[in-house]
Amino acid sequence: MRTVKKRRKVSIIGAGNVGATTAQKIVENGLADVVLLDIRDGVAQGKALDILEAGPLLGFDTRIRGTGRYEDIADSSVVVVTAGFSRKPGMSRDDLLTKNGEIIRDVAFNVRKFAPDSIVIAVTNPMDLMAYVLWRVTGFARERVIGMGGALDSSRFAYFLSEETRTSVSNIQSLVMGGHGDQMVPLLDFSTIAGVPVRKMVPADRLAAIVQRTRDGGAEIVHLMKDSSAYFAPAAATYSMIESILHDRHRIIPSSVFLQGEYGIKEAFVGVPVRLGNQGLEEIVELPLSEDESRQLRNSASAISEGIDALKRLFHDFSE
């Protein structure tokens, strides 16, 4: 009897703009079947149906199912967590800590129960801290809980460099490390345009302005959109991580992972270049940073550690 091979399954918790756009990219590219979950009645179901109705026009046969039941995420290869509140004008990522911490703790309990073999990608802000909550509550190995942030920040940095130099984005390699927030660390010595270091292509004052714009990238979009935050680029960044995992591409993508001494940092989720494959985190790539870059990275990690301490005070026992 012929064995029917099922497509792999990606579950997305949260059917807001980032979650739904990520789901759309996955099914349109035929990467996997998707479960889109949201506790708001009918939201995930409606968006899933809307995406499916584009199938005949775009020629995809991958499936997406909207649901409000966590049981439906069973057997997921990857679970993406986008649930929670987004930033509003005047809010920092850290302002979201208490509200989203409670939401993500509940999500993590359900992921542990219904998708115990999955790789989890944290997207909800403040992302590095929500990745920590997911890791603590699920009890998964650090290789299976990864935060999306560095991929997005690096893409923003690359776009701004492209805009400044009027050069195709395909010619630009960029790298941003550190927390996904105001203290991220764009690495100029490891960012190039057609193989040429950016310092040789862009005047120092313009580079400084681009670095600052990268750090303010999310806030700039919040300011422009007023009642929403970014979602097209975050969804693309998340998709790139899922694609490398499911296709076992071993791509090096800046991501937030739990460091245990790498770069001299312990016990914190921090964005660093990592190799992603079908086991999740395969390798943390340690680069020879300058003294100034190392200092900036440590400062960024210290801010994340302070947030983790706040989470511990808030929740006391993550198992409750």
The catalytic residues are: 180
Query: HSE on the CB side for 294, CA within 13 Å?
Result: 10
Q: Which of 124, 66, 131, 54 is nearest to 96 (CA)?
A: 124
Q: E-strand spans in 50-193?
A: 64-67, 78-81, 119-122, 145-147, 172-173, 176-177, 185-186, 192-193
21 within 8 A of 52, measured Cβ to Cβ:
no
Q: For residues 182 and 178, what is the distance between their CA atoms, to the nearest angstrom?
A: 10
> Rounded to 5 degrees, what are φ and ψ at 79?
-120, 125
Q: Angle 217-225/204-215 helices, nearest 10 degrees?
A: 60
Separation of alpha carbons 84 and 235, rounded Å: 15
User: How far apart are alpha carbons 3 and 13 in whole angstroms?
Assistant: 30
72, 6 Cβ separation under 8 angstroms: no
Partners of 193 in beta bridges: 172, 196
CA separation for the pair 263, 295 (Å, rounded): 11
Q: How far apart are the first and last CA of the chain?
A: 47
